[in-house]
Each structure stands twice: as C-alpha cells, then as structure tokens.
Amino acid sequence: MSLLRLKKSIEVRDAISRMSPYKPPLENRDPKEFILMDFNESPLPLPSDVIQKISGLLKSYVNIYPIYGDFIEKLGEYSGVPSENLLLTNGSDQAIDIIMRSLMEIEEEAVMAQPGFQMYNQTANTLGCKLTGPQFTSDFKFPHQKLKESVNSKTRLIILINPNNPTGTFVSLSQVEDLLKSFPDIPLLVDEAYYEFTGESCISLLSSYPNLIVIRTFSKALALPSLRLGYVIAHPDFIQELKKIRGPYDVNAVAVLAAREQLNHPEYWQNMVRHLMDKCKPKIENYFDEKGVKYFSSKANFMLVVPPNVQHAYKFLMENKILVRPMKSPIAHTFRMSLRMMPEMERFMKVFTCYLNN
C-alpha cells in the first residue's frame, strides 16, 4: 500500500460518499476488433475532409482558448430557434448536470419513468436529490397517468426521454403538451438525444410553454461522442441562468468545428440515418420475427431484444466479436443493440442464428 493510502482521505459530501461512479462498460471496445452495437453510436466515422479540417485546427489553434464564431447562429438555423434560446454544453451529460444543479435543492425530487438513462440518477444523487417515478409497463408503454400521479410537493423537475433509452418508448406531442399544461410551475426536460433518427421534436411547444427545456446531442447521428457536444433549447431567461453554471470554455473548439461541418454538409449523416432506419431496421425486425425472437423496436437507432438467455447470447456474440449491451434489473432479460450498416447487420444475423441453433 502506498504511503498516501495510509493517510485519512479528504471527506466529501455525504451525498457523494454514498454513491458509486457511473461506469459504462467501455473497456476493450476496439472498433477494429468488434462490431460495436452497445452504445448507440453512429456506425460511420467522420468524412475525411472533416478530419482534415480538424487536423488543420489542431496545428494552429489549440494553444488559444476556443473561438466559436457564428456556430450558435448556425445551430439556431438547424434547430429552428433564435440563438438566445440555445446553450452549448460539453455533451448532453453536462446539460443534464447543469439543468439539475440550477433547479434542485437537496432532498427535492425529479420524476422520470423508469428505467431511463442512468446519468439522470447519477446527477440527482450528486445533489442529494431523488429520482423517482413509475416503471414502464412490461411491454414498455409510457405510464403517462402514473407519472402524473407521482408528481408531489417535492417535485422540482419532470424528465422525459424521447424516445426513451433503453426501452425505446416514444411519447407523443400531445402527451408532452399535457404534462406541460398539467404542471405549469414545474420544468419539463425533454431529452431528444435521438432527434435526428426520429425526426420528431417538441420544440414547437416552446413558444407556448416557458417550462419546457429540450436537450440534444451531437453524439448520436451526428457522430461526435468523443468530442463531447450537446445543447439546451429553452426560454432565453433560463439559458442565461444556465450560463452562470457552465464554464465559458467548457465546449472545445474541435467539437464545434466538426459540428459546424456536420450541419453544413448533412447529406452524409442523413444518408446513414436513412440507411439504418429504412433498410437495416426492417431487415432485423423481419429476421427476429422469422426466428420467433421477441424484441422492442424504437424510432431511434437501437432496440431491445429478449433472447432465450441474455448472458449466453451476450457471451456468444462477444466471442464472435460483436458487442451488445445486456440490461440490468428490471429488464435484465433483455439486451440493447444498436443498428449498424447492412454488412454488419448481416454479420450479426449470421452469428445470432448460430447462437439460436446452439
């Protein structure tokens, strides 16, 4: 044991010492070795001219603080809102963090249908707050009424992930509006991380409901998860409050350059989205139907699969160089898989057939 370990450690807040880190299974994810179906990422690398532009920026601009130029205006055009409604964040994880920090005092609550994206629990816990809410039904329908009933005097935030990761559940615009109307004094955060796949958004409600907050990311269809870029779309006054928490340079210049290129030349990632949603998704659905394997599709680039035995399926796929994501309780009978380009989907189907025949 090192000398340092012998000394008494620094004491952190109770809320933090009670927690465990959020540790998604990132080890050994080598894209040269495995087909990565475990993190809902884009199956394609950035176009080579974007890589060239990044390398130009690395040569000349890394020793100065980031210059964002007119990117926020560009993002406004893309999202259909004025730039005063927008805030860039270091991934949408940071958006979740600063939104919850700006709203929640210790022991207050956020409600969200469960299970949802783990970072919401994690962030609530860092604040000494609770994330509560009803379970999705066993066929992953949205528990709209139960969610409304779970709102109480301690509720400071309602969270909707649309479509929900991992269950794929989609919430309709009228259901979103009903929540905004029913709880005008409680902010409603709608996580649209998969917007480019669904093509559906609740942003149109922003002008009527100042309690609406939307977050999105460049990590999914826009293919920049390693560069970390997300954004918040909300009332300008709330954006100003969030600016007090987010640091002025939290968003890096490489992410903004790459994002600008992706917005200026959308054909490449839009073709990928169409390929996944129009070709790969029906193909894998047909395949599971034919094989009698139960699955839950989504409007995004992922689905939940109910194999005969999750651990066996996961292990067999991994041994054959395919990574999927086994889920935890209460959906531990499923794994989540991301859609990839057709040749990789075909490889998946071939390997999965061997697993079923085993």
**For binding to ligand PLP (CB under 6 A), which residues are involved?**
40, 91-93, 117, 161, 165, 191, 193, 217, 219, 225, 230
User: Using an 8 Å Cβ cutoff, are 86 and 76 in contact?
Assistant: yes
CB of 26 to ligand PLP, least distance (A): 12
CB within 8 Å of 152: residues ≥ 6 apart: 109
- In whole angstroms, how close is the CB of 203 to ligand PLP at the nearest point? 16
* Number of Cβ atoms within 10 Å of the Cβ of 207: 11
Give min distance, CB of 223 to ligand PLP, in A: 11
Distance CA(129)–CA(151), nearest Å, equals 15
Q: Which residues contact 98 (CB under 8 A, 6 or more apart)?
A: 89, 242, 245, 246
Calpha distance 325→322 (Å, rounded): 10
- Between CA 8 and CA 6 the distance in angstroms is 7
CB of 191 to ligand PLP, least distance (A): 5
Say which residues have a Cβ less than 8 Å from residue 287's Cβ, sequence separation at least 6.
Answer: 349
Cα 200 from chain centroid (whole Å): 15
Whichever of 136 and 355 has its CB closer to ligand PLP, that residue is 136
Query: Per the omega criterion (within 30 degrees of 0), is the bond before 248 cis?
Result: no
Of the pair 85, 198, the CB lying nearest ligand PLP is at 198
CB of 148 to ligand PLP, least distance (A): 21
Q: Which is nearer to ligand PLP, 66 or 91 (CB)?
A: 91
> For the stretch 79-88, what's the b/e string if a residue is b when 16 or more beta carbons lie within 10 angstroms of its beta carbon?
bebebebbbb
User: Between residues 235 and 325, which has the closer beta carbon with respect to ligand PLP?
Assistant: 325
Task: State how far the Cα of 241 lies from the Cα of 244, in Å rounded to an integer.
Answer: 6
Beta strand residue intervals within 137-283, DSSP E:
155-161, 188-191, 212-217, 230-234
What are the residues whose beta carbons fall under 8 Å from the beta carbon of 20, sequence distance 6 or more?
none
- Name the minimum Å distance from CB 338 to ligand PLP: 10
Tell me how far, at minimum, the Cβ of 57 lies from ligand PLP, in Å.
21
| Cβ-based nearer residue to ligand PLP, 217 or 262 | 217
State the nearest-atom distance from the C-beta of 291 to ligand PLP, in Å. 27
> Which residues lie below 8 Å from residue 103, measured CB to CB, with a gap of 6+?
156, 157, 187
Strand arrangement, sheet containing 335-338 = 294-296, 302-306, 335-338, 325-326
- List b or e across 212-228, with b for residues whose CB sees 16 or more CB atoms inside 10 angstroms: bbbbbbbbbbbbbbebb
Total number of residues shown for the chain: 358
**Closest distance of CB 74 from ligand PLP, Å:** 18
Nearer to ligand PLP, 165 or 211 (CB): 165
Smaller CB separation from ligand PLP, 38 or 355: 38
Of the two residues 136 and 316, which places its CB atom closer to ligand PLP in the complex? 136
By C-beta, is 155 or 165 nearer to ligand PLP? 165
Q: Considering the complex, what minimum distance in angstroms separates the CB of residue 354 from ligand PLP?
A: 29
Measured from the CB atom, the residue of 40 and 211 that comes closer to ligand PLP is 40
